[in-house]
Amino acid sequence: MLIIDTRSIPPDRRIDAVDRALAQVAGAPCTVTHQVPDGASVHARIEHWRFGPVTLVTTAASGLRMRRGRRNRRQGPSAVMLTQCVRGQRGFAQHGRRQPVAAGDLVLDDGTAPCELAWRGEGADRGVRVDREALGLPAET
């Protein structure tokens, strides 16, 4: 299901629209900062499909930084997400570890922990999020 395609949204309304769409598919509230060059506009295309405890997400967007803090993670359901970077380079930080992520790389996001994901320029990824209860894993795993 298409969540957002900013080509149909005026540039001055895109930031709020993209923020709402990212919050909808992130699985937990997060803070978003857009990182686009001067004169460029924010853009994104996000698709989302839910199959019971499993969610598939594809994202293609201009540069951004997403942070999920301790307070944010408590507001959303507990989940694990495996994401593949399709285009661009980004950084991912969680559990005190920062790692670069390039096209083709996989990232495992522990939805019970704070994290940060950022990229400059164009980026795209696809991922699968599974509710922790469906996996039968305790939060400590």
Query: Please, which residues have CB within 8 angstroms of residue 71's CB and are 6 or more apart in sequence?
Result: none
What sign does the CA torsion over 53, 111, 108, 37 have? positive
**3-class SS at 106?**
strand
**In the CATH scheme, what architecture does the domain 2-133 have?**
Sandwich (2.60)
pLDDT per residue over 6-30, tens digit each? 999 999 999 999 999 998 888 777 8
State the DSSP code for 53: T
Name the residue ranges covered by the structural domains of the chain: 2-133
pLDDT per residue over 25-43, tens digit each? 887 778 999 998 888 899 9
- The confidence score (pLDDT) of residue 45 equals 98
pLDDT per residue over 82-133, tens digit each? 999 999 999 999 999 999 999 999 999 988 889 999 998 899 999 999 988 8
Amino acid making up residue 104: G
